[in-house]
């Protein structure tokens, strides 16, 4: 089974991306999710969820300043 730190890291980066729109967090979360998918100890349903989340993180466009969905500090300042 993958280490708890790997799961925690993926979830933490996913939340950071959701809260701030940070594209680097999305990319790194997707990379960790891909590592989880590659683990032979992950069941098929969990693997499918990780693959789906990774795909969504890498296919969605990065939010831009001025984008109403961007919830980062730049929006608050502007």
Q: How confident is the model at residue 65 (pLDDT cuts 50, 70, 90)?
A: low
Q: How much is the pTM?
A: 0.74
Give the percent of the chain with pLDDT over 90. Answer: 71
Phi/psi region, residue 21 (left: phi>0; alpha: psi -120 to 50; beta: rest), is left
Q: How many whole angstroms from its chain centre is CA 49?
A: 12
Half-sphere CA count of 42, side-chain side, radius 13 A: 20
């Amino acid at each position: 089974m993958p280490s708890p730190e790997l799961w925690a890291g993926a979830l933490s980066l996913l939340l950071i991306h959701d809260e701030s729109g940070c594209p680097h967090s999305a990319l790194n979360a997707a990379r960790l999710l891909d590592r989880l998918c590659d683990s032979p100890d992950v069941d098929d349903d969990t693997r499918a969820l990780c693959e789906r989340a990774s795909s969504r993180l890498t296919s969605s466009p990065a939010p831009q300043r001025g984008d109403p969905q961007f919830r980062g500090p730049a929006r608050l300042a502007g």
